[in-house]
Amino acid sequence: MVRVAVAGASGYMGAELLRLLCVHPNITLTGVTSDRLAGEALTKAYPHLRGLSELRFHDLDAEWLASVADVVFLALPHMESQKAVPILRRHGRRAIDLSADYRLRDPNDYVTWYKAPHIDLSGLGEAVYGLAELHRKAIAQAALVATPGCYPAGAILATAPLFRAGLARLDGVVIDGKSGVTGAGAQGRRIDPMYLYTEANENVQAYGMASHRHTPEIEQELGALAGAPLRVAFTPHLVPLNRGLFTTASVPVTSAVTTTRLLDVYREFYAGEPFVRVLDEGERPTTRAVVGSNYCDVTVVADPRTNRAVCVSAIDNLGKGGAANGIQNLNVMLGWGERTGLEAPPVYP
Amino acid sequence: MVRVAVAGASGYMGAELLRLLCVHPNITLTGVTSDRLAGEALTKAYPHLRGLSELRFHDLDAEWLASVADVVFLALPHMESQKAVPILRRHGRRAIDLSADYRLRDPNDYVTWYKAPHIDLSGLGEAVYGLAELHRKAIAQAALVATPGCYPAGAILATAPLFRAGLARLDGVVIDGKSGVTGAGAQGRRIDPMYLYTEANENVQAYGMASHRHTPEIEQELGALAGAPLRVAFTPHLVPLNRGLFTTASVPVTSAVTTTRLLDVYREFYAGEPFVRVLDEGERPTTRAVVGSNYCDVTVVADPRTNRAVCVSAIDNLGKGGAANGIQNLNVMLGWGERTGLEAPPVYP
Amino acid sequence: MVRVAVAGASGYMGAELLRLLCVHPNITLTGVTSDRLAGEALTKAYPHLRGLSELRFHDLDAEWLASVADVVFLALPHMESQKAVPILRRHGRRAIDLSADYRLRDPNDYVTWYKAPHIDLSGLGEAVYGLAELHRKAIAQAALVATPGCYPAGAILATAPLFRAGLARLDGVVIDGKSGVTGAGAQGRRIDPMYLYTEANENVQAYGMASHRHTPEIEQELGALAGAPLRVAFTPHLVPLNRGLFTTASVPVTSAVTTTRLLDVYREFYAGEPFVRVLDEGERPTTRAVVGSNYCDVTVVADPRTNRAVCVSAIDNLGKGGAANGIQNLNVMLGWGERTGLEAPPVYP
Amino acid sequence: MVRVAVAGASGYMGAELLRLLCVHPNITLTGVTSDRLAGEALTKAYPHLRGLSELRFHDLDAEWLASVADVVFLALPHMESQKAVPILRRHGRRAIDLSADYRLRDPNDYVTWYKAPHIDLSGLGEAVYGLAELHRKAIAQAALVATPGCYPAGAILATAPLFRAGLARLDGVVIDGKSGVTGAGAQGRRIDPMYLYTEANENVQAYGMASHRHTPEIEQELGALAGAPLRVAFTPHLVPLNRGLFTTASVPVTSAVTTTRLLDVYREFYAGEPFVRVLDEGERPTTRAVVGSNYCDVTVVADPRTNRAVCVSAIDNLGKGGAANGIQNLNVMLGWGERTGLEAPPVYP
């Protein structure tokens, strides 16, 4: 059994990792950290796990993590992972980071978007962007994987085939994301009035307009697929659901193309993928159909009136948008079947 | 007291008209129709109105409506209003239509988008598009007003100042609407599985991709403001809330422009408007802040990276997106203060 | 115009008072206090009120309140009202308290349930329990009115006719309350993890089992109606809605009685009441039908199998359960029509 | 591999069976029936199962079911199971019925509560009530198991230890159930206005007052535990959540008893149970902590003021309240570990 630990397990992303790792057949969960909850029983913070774990939260100590685990998931705020990862790597431990710290290849992007220089350039150099649909081979060789942000996961999977196939024009890409509350800033179970039930319930709003930090991550990956730099106009939204992230991308196309043809391109691109389901013409993705799982449901519709394609995807922001995708990365890194520990169907309704 | 009736009062839009008209100080509610509920007490269908009305539903009979009311609101499915309106007009009654039947000026658009020729071209000729922010003077003179669809109301108010000011480029406009369930097809309290609690709750989805019938309405009004035809890529979404409609429009701008400058344009455009609130820089519209009212909260943010503006608005789909806006039209038509009967603040939370 | 102020306006109960007072035709809102928000514009904290008020929050200063208002609503935490009220009364101001501080007649009950002696016994002596359905005449004479807690309002109105009529046995009364999140502890927009969207959404739980402080208030009023002391087993629950409070009371009856007979007793008891609606046999109260209003919908069903009656009521916890009921008290105290400022129908859906 | 089929798979209870059976390691899903959906691909009705099953719905034909399966789950409306079960039994197939048809031992109860005589008295004679916590040994021998209704599952598990221990008085038991929408009548994805999003959202109501058909089932099982007949006053409620059922039972106690003592009784009663978690003093069950699983979280609090105990439980109505409990029964019947196929932790949040 491979020993696995979770650093930063007090937030929703950490909680989802625990839910899935608890029953992953190839690993043993050997440590969880949270500075805030250090010393407390895991099941005190997570009553749903009563009876399923004897662990207690340890404080965030990378040396300790390296001593108890072979692989460490980091569900920490950005700027925190880059402090812990070098220590883990020095001890030869593998790391799967769910923060933003190792997602951007250009160190300058951290200065621009996160207002601070990166302090682990060596780690940044070896890190692989953790989306198996794009980088499966590199992930299989990697010791450090940066799992995508939830919005980028949805946006990239919704549009990647268009960019790879050269069907997308690179100017005028507009992406609109709608995230449930566990994704949109409340990952740390942070106590902010915006996330109160009475404020988020029966409410929809945009935030981070023209400035959300997931933007460069989307541009990096789509640009690499297209073979040229591009910019996207990205707007995230908070919608009233616990889990779920829906992406609507409007992509100008290079030539007249039918929905049928576009779907063929998508099916070819995602052929054999265990977690991407390309829908049939006339079917519509819904977050309802993927919640609790690592699936991404996608479709695309041609809009000849505007010479654009409407590309949509539905994921669970804690699933393909984070924790479950992180476990897919673990499976790829360790050469296990990619569905190991991720077999449970989505929870409906 | 002006006598007012509501045709098609069995749906949510009709219900909202009744809620507001019940307490409008200048009118008497003299008739409600519903073929399905004919003969039933109004308060049987609407228990919230217990004690507030003695009316019973009458079947949909335009002659009868003309006999009991001076002004008739029509909250009917499209293609139904154009049957009733000519009869009402022949009797000299004024009509405020909440269906799509009189919104599009070009009769060909009905063939294209609604798959049927219009049967009341005379009415279509005299109808005024019922958005006071654009057509106040014409509404004041009108005998037949076509109240905008909920998505167009949100989309037009979010972007009108940009088009009027010549700041918008006309290609590449992308509009994304998110509507609560009373707006997105369930107006008639239709019983469709998609609108079951267990299906709509904790779920987000796009629908009508590249084909929603509100698209030409948006193009007509924005084109008129711009002085040239344009096309928009519009995608509607169903989000889990009873009321509320949030619009995010990405509009390419003709020249570099700051958020501050854009907000000035908006403030000038909406100066004196009783129901449009332009937010200050840094503030964000939310549907929460307008629910139950006729308000539209708007803001705009410049995105110099993409040479676009992000334009957002929040309305209540049953408010500014329908019933309350219809009552504002009534007030304009009859020369009353525009806030008459619409004074109640939004219901928070 | 009567000058009215609201002390403790930063919570949901205060917000609801403001929403209603804004458009009350007989009063002018002259002051709002919040220590936390002192100096801030009212519309900064309450974006839904943009354009509707120029007020700024003042700190909680009873002398200042007495100088700006003829009547003061207090929406303060318990133990705070009893500090401010004596000052207001010394200046001859009338007070309508929404806290628990003046609801219980026996000062010892404060020691028992609130763990502290009452510091304004004089005020306690003159205070009237603010439920017009039971104490209309006394309220009309009162200078200090204690508006009931939301659970007691629902529980008392659901069962009062049975106790007054001598149909209820006094042992074995069981009351179960289900409250929306604005009522169940989040009044102050307090930031507590239990009230996070992600915790309260899709969740139901009991709390305060066998120990909730609203229990003695229910017992006091039902005991007074019955003419003998009684004890009730009361359990409150948090359910996922913004507003709404549903009460289910199981009351043992003294003799065999039919539903029809019970409903007659209820109709007689509530005859002429402007805000209590006794439903017809077979109809069911729902919180949906009263939200946003001061209504209380009630019904009762005989259960001959158990010799009990099932008494249910639906209110808006911020409406009849607090702010709107407080305004009904204002109207009674000042001799105005009881529906003044409370005419707006419930908001459906 | 044991061959398993699901009859009546078009409702939510059937859907949950499919979700769980899909990944049960010891069985093969060989058939699903639905008269309404006959011929349609399973994944058309259940998009969340895309890629996970090749099955198509067959019409409801018991002979066919007997030919394809060793064990059949029946998720049919009541009165339908008793038509199919005799045929299955004649072929020697085992059946796990999720309808009400085999839950009540006294055939007269069907006449009283379901208004029709039972047509399979032989089956009724051999059926075992499928709650392993009470009837594990009998289930292990049974060929026909009647899985409890969701309300009875919650009510019985909340109170069983009190009745078995002789601590409960048998008169004056009051039980209040709150169910999510998948449980409260919408099992069949029936299209009824009451279950529309816009009607059920932000709404709470009681229904079936003094007449719900789950009442005799609760009385039968608690009476058997107590060794004497008893009657309970039971009121079900519809609350706005997809899944989850919370039960609050007020039980008069025979003698003064502390919470600590009561919890000891509960812990002893449930010692070794794999799916019942007795909470520690001060902890509170929530539906949030059990959703998606077969767990039942319970606690009890003494109320010395009223000589009663407050007994509460939280289950997933589709979990311990139906499908997952049915699979626990399958495991018991076939001698497998009881957690087989039920290992996945609750889904939080």
D161 and D134 together in one domain: no
Is the same domain home to C113 and C192? no
Check pLDDT > 60 for residue D330: yes
pLDDT of residue B193: 82
What do you get for the CA distance between the two ends of chain A, in Å? 34
> Same domain for A294 and A157?
yes
Interface residue of C55, C189, C197, C347 to substitute, partner B, most B CBs within 10 Å: C347
Is the pTM value of this prediction over 0.90? yes
User: What's B113's DSSP letter?
Assistant: H
> If pLDDT is split at 50, 70 and 90, which confidence band does D193 have?
confident
Among residues 225-254 of chain A, which lie with CB inside 8 Å of chain B?
A: 231-233, 235, 237, 239-244, 246, 248, 250, 252
DSSP string, C170-208: SSSEEEEEEE-TTTTT-TT----GGGBHHHHTT--EE-S
The per-residue pLDDT for A192 is 76
DSSP H helices, chain C, are: 12-21, 42-45, 62-68, 81-90, 107-114, 121-126, 132-141, 150-164, 197-200, 215-226, 259-269, 323-333
pLDDT for D46: 96
Tokens of A166: 């050269």
Total domains in chain D come to 2
My answer on whether D54 and D77 are in the same domain is yes
Q: Which strands make up the sheet holding C276-278, listed edge to edge?
A: C205-206, C232-238, C173-179, C245-252, C308-315, C296-303, C276-278
CA atoms within 13 A on the CB side of D45: 27
Q: Which residues of chain D are within 8 Å of residue B181 when distances are taken between CB atoms? A: 197-198, 201
> Is any Cβ of chain D less than 8 angstroms from the Cβ of A270?
no
User: What integer is the mean pLDDT of B270-288?
Assistant: 97
**In this complex, is the C-beta atom of C162 within 8 Å of any C-beta atom belonging to chain A?**
no
- D204–C239 CB contact, under 8 Å: yes
Active site residue D150: yes
Q: Over 60: is that where the pLDDT of B189 sits?
A: no
Alpha-carbon distance values, C27 to B347, C16, C321, C345 (Å)? 20, 16, 22, 20
Q: Residue A41: its pLDDT value, please?
A: 97
- Chains near A with 3+ CB pairs less than 8 A apart are B, C, D
D284 contacts in chain C (CB < 8 Å) = 205-207, 209
d(CA D70, CA D4) in angstroms, rounded, equals 6
- CA distance between the termini of chain D: 34
Cβ neighbours of D223 (radius 10 Å) = 17
Q: Is the pLDDT of residue B190 over 70?
A: no
Q: Is the CB of D201 less than 8 angstroms away from the CB of B201?
A: yes
Strand runs labelled E in A210-346: 232-238, 245-252, 276-278, 296-303, 308-315
Residue D190 has pLDDT above 80, yes or no: no
Local structure of B232: helix, strand or coil: strand
Range of the domain at D261: 151-315
State the CB neighbour count (10 A cutoff) for residue D135.
18
Q: What is the mean pLDDT of each run of 10 residues along chain A (349 residues)?
A: 96 96 98 96 96 97 98 95 98 98 97 96 98 98 98 98 98 97 67 86 97 97 98 98 98 97 98 98 97 98 98 98 98 98 97
Q: What is the pLDDT of residue D115?
A: 94
Q: What are the CA-CA distances from residue C344 to residues B19, B324, C22, C324 (Å)?
A: 8, 14, 13, 11
Average pLDDT over residues B121-138: 98
- What is the end-to-end Cα distance of chain C in Å, rounded? 34
Q: Are A248 and A176 in contact (CB under 8 A)?
A: yes
Interchain pair A286, B203: CB under 8 A: yes
On average, the pLDDT of chain C sits at: 96
User: Taking 60 as the threshold, does the pLDDT of residue C117 lie above it?
Assistant: yes
Residue D107 and residue D166 share a domain? no
Is D19 part of a structural domain of the chain? yes
Any chains having at least 3 CB pairs less than 8 A from chain B are: A, C, D
What confidence score (pLDDT) does residue D138 get?
A: 98
D257: domain CATH number is 3.30.360.10
* Separation between Cα atoms, residue C99 and residue C280, nearest integer Å: 34
Question: What pLDDT does A186 receive?
Answer: 52
Q: Are residues B122 and B226 in the same domain?
A: no
DSSP state of C264: H
pLDDT at D185 over 80: no
- Return the structure tokens found at B80: 């139904």
Query: Does position C186 have pLDDT exceeding 70, yes or no?
Result: no
Nearest to A343 by CA among B192, C225, D49: D49
Average pLDDT over residues B231-246: 98
Q: What is the pLDDT of residues B76-114, one digit of tens each?
A: 998 999 999 999 999 999 999 999 999 999 999 999 999
- Whether the CB of C310 is below 8 Å from some CB of chain D: the reply is yes
DSSP per position, B260-275: HHHHHHHHHHTTT-SS
Q: Please, which residues have CB within 8 angstroms of residue D137's CB and are 6 or more apart in sequence?
A: none
The reply to whether C349 falls in a domain is no
DSSP-assigned letters across all residues of A124-193 = HHH-EE--HHHHHHHHHH-SEEEPPPHHHHHHHHHHHHHHHTT-B-SSSEEEEEEE-TTTTT-TT----G
Find the CB nearest A191 among C12, C193, C201: C193
Do B133 and B162 lie in one domain? The reply is no
Check pLDDT > 90 for residue B335: yes
The conformation of residue B56, written as its DSSP 8-state character, comes to: B
pLDDT for residue D95 is more than 80: yes
Instruction: Supply D49's token pair.
Output: 């199962």
Same domain, B163 and B303: yes
pLDDT digits (tens, 9 = 90+) for D269-323: 999 999 999 999 999 999 999 999 999 999 999 999 999 999 999 999 999 999 9
Chain C neighbors of D174, CB-CB under 8 A: 174, 233, 250, 308
pLDDT of residue A145: 98
Cα–Cα dist A206/A236, whole Å: 6
* Surface-to-core class of residue C82, CB atoms within 10 Å of its CB (0-12 exposed, 13-18 middle, 19+ buried): buried
CATH number for the domain spanning B31: value is 3.40.50.720
By C-alpha distance, which of B232, B243, B314, B318 is closest to A206?
B314
What is the rounded CA–CA span in Å between residue A108 and residue D212?
A: 66
The verdict on residue A338 lying in a domain is no
Residues C71 and C20 grouped into a single domain: yes
Percent of all residues in chain B with a pLDDT value above 70, rounded to a whole number: 98
Contact status, residue A243 vs residue A292, Cβ threshold 8 Å: yes
- Is A110 within a domain? yes
- A340, part of any domain: no
Nearest to B222 by CA among B243, B247, B255, B258: B247
| Spatial distance between the Cα atoms of A43 and A37, rounded to a whole number of angstroms | 11
Task: Answer yes or no: is B266 within a domain.
Answer: yes
**C160 & C305 share domain:** yes
pLDDT score at D18: 98
Q: Which amino acid is at A234?
A: F
Does B58 reside within a domain?
A: yes
Identify the active-site residue in C22, C150, C296, C311.
Answer: C150
Counting every residue written for chain C, the total comes to 349
Residue A187, pLDDT score = 52
The answer, for B314 touching chain A at a CB cutoff of 8 Å, is: yes
Same domain, B160 and B295: yes
Q: Please answer yes or no on whether D349 and A52 come within 8 Å at the CB atom.
A: no
Q: Is B346 within a domain? A: no
Tokens 């000519």 correspond to what residue?
Answer: B86
Q: Is B46 on the interface with C (CB under 8 A)?
A: yes
User: Is residue D279 within 8 angstroms of chain C, CB to CB?
Assistant: no
Report yes or no: A288 and A261 within 8 Å, Cβ to Cβ.
no
Q: For the segment D65-76, what is each residue's pLDDT rounded down to a tens digit? A: 999 999 999 999
- Do C104 and C182 lie in one domain? The reply is no
Q: What is the mean pLDDT of chain D?
A: 96
Q: What is the mean pLDDT of residues C231-258?
A: 97
pLDDT tops 60 at residue B309: yes
